[in-house]
């Protein structure tokens, strides 16, 4: 019999490569991503409109001024029917809504502009200012304050909620200086904005009224907007439609929250907005207030009765073809039927037939005259074939071997 340490080491290495933890019979899987309140089956209060033009309006927002369809006046959406499609605005103001999500509202942009003649005379100009004081809204830090131009500077001044003052200077002497796609101070500059800002105003100024660069840049622009939606291009400097294009395509992102109390205090109030199977999420703006999310494994509108409902994950067949899906409150589990082992999941180990899950590993070891003495003088063969059955005990360090065994000794077959 062969019991040289080198043979035993080789066996252990092969077994270690083949080893895997014994599968569990039941695995609880993670729930799919939570849907937005705009995707809920019960989007609006009973009897209220759900859409204004192309916009889905979920409660706590509601369509109609003083219609009772929202949680409060500042969540009213004024649906202007004079245009086609209809246009939604925040309450009684002139801020047009383009999207409502679980924690943010996106509105169409406002862009300050200043244009000049070749001799430096101003042909048109406008400033921008937005004030959210006394409302549930504040500017998100997803925005950037941006100045576009080669002879332009602008200062942004914010107050109420958070004081903020900053500025941006953008210069270049010739169009070849500009790097397309980069907003680094040459033709375009940007500064970040903090969370919690309630108001801001901005106006443009110029060092030389564009007299030295008018041939390729007659105007300067300043705006705040979603940093993910704006990329500077050299062609922006000569694009007469830049202002309107930015208004339409680069929204301003604003955060929203209910009230100004934190979750602990809000839960003690009779008008606490979060319904069954939901959780309270405190605002991270530093201004107080809260929002509601469905608990993990639930979906719906957390602000509307009866609250969020359980997701039946089994309807999407998340388990192996030989698996059994069991829906549970807020989750689900997969298990394997009779004759199969595994976690039962399509994205996991699945279900493996019991009689095929433990392979037989076969290997051969060549015995030469040189190492014959090291193997205890065994001779009479050039190579031996060994078969090892890797059973479930292998994960414990005990390796059952098919054939007659005496501890770690193997009979050649």
pLDDT average, residue stretch 377-391? 45
Residue 343 lies in a domain: yes
pLDDT of 372 strictly over 60: no
Separation between Cα atoms, residue 59 and residue 69, nearest integer Å: 8
pLDDT at res. 34:
60
- pLDDT bucket at 250, cuts 50 / 70 / 90: very high
- Count up the domains in the chain and report the number: 4
Specify the length of the chain in residues.
413
Reported as a single tens digit per residue, the pLDDT across 300-319 is: 999 999 999 999 999 988 99
Residue 61 lies in a domain: yes
pLDDT average, residue stretch 90-113? 96
- For residues 202 and 132, state if they share a domain: yes
Separation between Cα atoms, residue 336 and residue 326, nearest integer Å: 11
- pLDDT bucket at 33, cuts 50 / 70 / 90: low
pLDDT at res. 304:
96
CB environment 280-316: b (16+ within 10 A), e (fewer): bbebebebebbbbbbbebbbbbbbbeebbbbbebbee
pLDDT at res. 356:
61
pLDDT at res. 400:
43
Which has the higher per-residue pLDDT, 20 or 101?
Answer: 101
Query: Three-state DSSP class for 37?
Result: helix
pLDDT at res. 382:
42
pLDDT at res. 260:
94
Task: Answer whether 113's CB lies under 8 Å from 243's CB.
Answer: yes
Residue 28 lies in a domain: no
- pLDDT bucket at 25, cuts 50 / 70 / 90: very low
| Helix, strand and coil in the chain, % to nearest 5 | 15, 35, 50
- For residues 91 and 134, state if they share a domain: no
- For residues 287 and 316, state if they share a domain: no
- For residues 233 and 279, state if they share a domain: no
Identify each DSSP E strand in 241-330 by its residue range: 252-256, 278-282, 290-294, 298-299, 309-310, 323-328
Residue 170: C-alpha distances to residues 113, 225, 228, 237, 327 (Å): 14, 17, 20, 12, 58
- For residues 368 and 351, state if they share a domain: no
Separation between Cα atoms, residue 248 and residue 141, nearest integer Å: 20
Residue 32 lies in a domain: no
Q: What percent of the chain has pLDDT over 90?
A: 68
Reported as a single tens digit per residue, the pLDDT across 42-70 is: 799 999 999 999 999 999 999 999 999 99
Mean pLDDT of the chain: 83
pLDDT at res. 410:
40
pLDDT at res. 161:
74
- For residues 182 and 270, state if they share a domain: no
What's the CATH number where 319 sits? 2.10.25.10
Residue 30 lies in a domain: no
Task: Answer whether 78's CB lies under 8 Å from 70's CB.
Answer: no
Reported as a single tens digit per residue, the pLDDT across 201-211 is: 998 999 999 99
Query: How many C-beta neighbours within 10 Å does residue 96 have?
Result: 19
- pLDDT bucket at 276, cuts 50 / 70 / 90: very high
Task: Answer whether 300's CB lies under 8 Å from 307's CB.
Answer: yes
Q: What percent of the chain has pLDDT over 70?
A: 77
Residue 254: C-alpha distances to residues 111, 129, 240, 257 (Å): 16, 14, 28, 10
Residue 49 lies in a domain: yes
Which has the higher per-residue pLDDT, 291 or 349?
Answer: 291
- For residues 115 and 189, state if they share a domain: yes
Question: What is the domain extent for residue 332?
Answer: 312-355
pLDDT at res. 355:
77
Residue 145 lies in a domain: yes
Residue 362 lies in a domain: yes
pLDDT of 363 strictly over 70: no
Reported as a single tens digit per residue, the pLDDT across 164-180 is: 899 999 999 999 999 99
- pLDDT bucket at 5, cuts 50 / 70 / 90: low
- For residue 371, the surrounding DSSP H or E stretch is helix 369-372
Lowest mean pLDDT among 22-31, 252-261, 336-345: 22-31
pLDDT at res. 258:
97
- For residues 98 and 194, state if they share a domain: no
- For residues 139 and 214, state if they share a domain: yes
Task: Answer whether 349's CB lies under 8 Å from 343's CB.
Answer: yes
In degrees and rounded to multiples of 5, residue 355 shows phi and psi of -80, 5
Which has the higher per-residue pLDDT, 296 or 390?
Answer: 296
Of the candidates 348, 338, 345, which has an alpha carbon nearest to the alpha carbon of residue 314? 345
Separation between Cα atoms, residue 195 and residue 410, nearest integer Å: 71
Reported as a single tens digit per residue, the pLDDT across 116-142 is: 999 999 999 999 999 999 999 999 999
pLDDT at res. 289:
97
pLDDT at res. 207:
94
Reported as a single tens digit per residue, the pLDDT across 8-19 is: 544 444 444 344
pLDDT average, residue stretch 253-273? 96
- For residues 186 and 296, state if they share a domain: no
pLDDT of 397 strictly over 70: no
């Amino acid at each position: 019999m062969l019991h040289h340490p080198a043979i035993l080491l080789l066996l252990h290495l092969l077994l270690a490569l083949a080893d895997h933890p014994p599968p569990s019979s039941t695995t609880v899987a993670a729930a799919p991503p939570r849907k937005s309140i705009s995707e809920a089956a019960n989007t609006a209060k009973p009897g209220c409109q759900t859409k204004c033009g192309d916009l889905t309006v979920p409660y706590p927002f509601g369509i109609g001024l003083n219609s009772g369809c929202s949680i409060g006046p500042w969540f009213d959406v004024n649906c202007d029917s004079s245009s086609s499609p209809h246009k939604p605005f925040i309450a009684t103001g002139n801020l047009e809504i383009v999207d409502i999500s679980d924690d943010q509202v996106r509105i169409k942009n406002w862009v300050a502009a200043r244009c000049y003649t070749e001799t430096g005379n101003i042909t048109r100009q406008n400033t921008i200012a937005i004030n959210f004081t006394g409302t549930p809204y504040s500017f998100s830090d997803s925005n950037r304050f941006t100045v576009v131009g080669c002879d332009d500077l602008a200062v942004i001044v914010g107050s109420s909620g958070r004081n903020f003052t900053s500025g941006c200077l953008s210069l270049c002497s010739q169009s070849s200086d500009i790097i397309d796609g980069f907003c680094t101070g040459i033709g375009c500059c940007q500064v970040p904005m903090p969370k919690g800002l309630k108001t801001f105003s901005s106006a443009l100024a110029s060092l030389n009224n564009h007299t030295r660069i008018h041939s390729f840049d007659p105007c300067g622009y300043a705006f705040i907007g979603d940093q993910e939606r704006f990329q500077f291009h050299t062609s922006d400097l000569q694009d007469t439609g830049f202002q309107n294009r930015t208004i339409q395509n680069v929204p301003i992102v604003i955060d929203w929250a209910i009230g100004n109390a934190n979750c602990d205090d809000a839960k003690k109030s009779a008008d606490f907005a979060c319904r069954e199977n939901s959780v309270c999420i405190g605002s991270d703006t530093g201004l107080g207030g809260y929002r509601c999310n469905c608990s993990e494994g639930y979906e719906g509108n957390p602000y509307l009765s009866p609250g969020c409902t359980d997701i039946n994950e089994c309807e999407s067949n998340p388990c192996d073809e030989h698996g059994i899906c069991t829906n549970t409150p807020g989750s689900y589990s997969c298990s394997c039927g009779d004759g199969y082992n595994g976690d039962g999941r399509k994205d996991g180990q699945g279900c493996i037939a019991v009689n095929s899950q433990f392979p037989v590993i076969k290997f051969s070891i060549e015995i030469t005259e040189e190492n014959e003495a090291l193997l205890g003088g065994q001779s009479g063969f050039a190579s031996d074939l060994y078969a090892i059955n890797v059973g479930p005990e292998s994960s414990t360090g005990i390796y059952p071997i098919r054939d007659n065994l005496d501890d770690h000794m193997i009979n050649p077959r």
